[in-house]
């Protein structure tokens, strides 16, 4: 089995390993598509905070079910060998305080595929049967996009977005774009913010986001006040993972508002306490996603509420990933989603 291992920051090496075999309680997937996400890129450059090396990357995956052994009936749904499938790549323990509170995405002992344990930049991957998701008629590309879209859907769920309230999403990367889509689906009036003009144009032209603001403008506050009629957004969702952006965004939050952090960085949050307090602000993190988020994304894809073709800007065969990944870190290359094929 050929795999692609990130041994140290900035390195990728192909290696040969024994092919995994199906064991009780596990399913074996022959990988067909691998979506490249910010976590993979941050791990490659050495800025992912939950990471250790060496590691096989990859958690945005789809493929064919080639073996399935479920003696305890743990799988959710019916599966047949040969089915197109994807899976929930957050392996939880099932017994910690978070798991007992129906928050498996925040499991104390969580093992995220491709982060804490080896992932799917490989020909085959073995996963717990309870993590499997059926293909539901979606193609390989669509199935590989479910996980990153579910991250955004979970952030919107955490925010409790209501119809017609203004939602400022900061960061127009793949996660931010998905967050905008599900904020729109929830009925919010979405404002996109980024420093990348190309990404903001994408928001307007492809996603039909009604309002865009360049974070580098001198009059950002005035623009947001004008858009919201002076009220300011009652929901802000950060998808940048940029410390300065996270700390500054509080000043854009309307009174009584909710601030949700999807983006992740290594530093300390620093808010002006009087500014935070006078708004009676609610600050939340949003980690991973839960099965309901995945099911919502599947519904949105099947009903064409989200167009997957908008996201995939770069395609590459598995054999080219080692050469091409460094370039995906360069904003000038316009990468939104690179999709790797294994044929």
In whole angstroms, give the CA distance from residue 170 to residue 168.
Answer: 6
Instruction: Give the pLDDT of residue 192.
Output: 98
Q: For the chain (length 343 residues), average pLDDT per consecutive 10?
A: 94 92 92 94 86 94 96 93 98 97 97 95 96 96 98 98 98 96 98 96 95 97 98 98 93 98 89 96 98 98 94 96 94 92 91
Closest-CA residue to 183 (of 71, 258, 88): 258
Q: Which residues contact 329 (CB under 8 A, 6 or more apart)?
A: 41, 44, 45
Q: Which CATH number does 2-135+311-341 carry?
A: 3.90.180.10
Going by C-alpha positions, the residue among 156, 158, 157 that lies closest to residue 168 is: 156
- pTM score above 0.75: yes
> What pLDDT shows up at residue 264?
86
Shared fold status for 2-135+311-341 and 151-285 = no
pLDDT at 19: 86
pLDDT of residue 336: 92
The Cα–Cα gap between 284 and 271 comes to: 14
Q: Indicate the domain borders of the chain.
A: 2-135+311-341, 151-285
- Report the CATH superfamily, name and number, of domain 151-285: NAD(P)-binding Rossmann-like Domain (3.40.50.720)
Instruction: Give the separation between CA 229 and CA 15, rounded to whole angstroms.
Output: 57
**Pairwise CA distance, residues 83 & 180, whole Å:** 31
Q: What integer pLDDT is reported at residue 265 of this predicted model?
A: 83
């Amino acid at each position: 089995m050929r795999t692609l291992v990130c041994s140290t920051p900035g390195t990728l090496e192909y290696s040969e390993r024994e092919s995994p075999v199906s064991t009780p309680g596990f399913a074996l997937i022959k990988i067909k598509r691998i979506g490249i996400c910010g976590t993979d890129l941050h791990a490659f450059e050495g800025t992912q905070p939950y990471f250790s090396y060496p590691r096989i990357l990859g958690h945005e995956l789809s493929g064919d079910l080639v073996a399935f052994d479920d003696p305890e009936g743990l799988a959710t749904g019916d599966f047949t060998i040969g089915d197109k499938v994807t899976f929930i790549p957050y392996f939880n323990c099932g017994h910690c305080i978070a798991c007992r509170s129906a928050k498996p995405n925040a499991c104390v002992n969580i093992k995220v595929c491709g982060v804490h344990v080896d992932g799917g930049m490989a020909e085959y991957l073995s996963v717990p049967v309870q993590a499997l998701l059926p293909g539901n008629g979606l193609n390989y590309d669509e199935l590989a996009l479910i996980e990153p879209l579910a991250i955004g859907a979970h952030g919107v769920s955490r925010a409790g977005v209501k119809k017609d309230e203004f939602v400022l999403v900061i960061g127009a990367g793949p996660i931010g774009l998905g967050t905008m889509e599900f904020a729109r689906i929830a009925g919010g009036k979405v404002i996109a913010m980024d420093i990348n003009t190309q990404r903001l144009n994408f928001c307007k032209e492809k996603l039909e986001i009604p309002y865009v603001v360049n974070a580098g403008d001198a009059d950002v506050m005035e623009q947001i006040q004008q858009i919201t009629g002076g009220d300011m957004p009652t929901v802000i969702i950060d998808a940048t993972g940029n410390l300065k952006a996270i700390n500054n965004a509080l000043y854009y939050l309307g009174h009584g508002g909710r601030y949700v952090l999807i983006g992740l960085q290594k530093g300390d949050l620093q808010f002006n306490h009087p500014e935070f307090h006078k708004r009676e602000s609610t600050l939340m993190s949003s980690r991973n996603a839960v099965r309901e988020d995945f099911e919502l994304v599947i519904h949105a894809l099947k009903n064409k509420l989200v167009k997957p073709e908008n996201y995939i800007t770069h395609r590459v065969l598995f054999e080219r990933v080692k050469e091409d990944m460094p370039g995906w870190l360069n904003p000038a290359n316009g990468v939104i989603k690179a999709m790797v094929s294994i044929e």
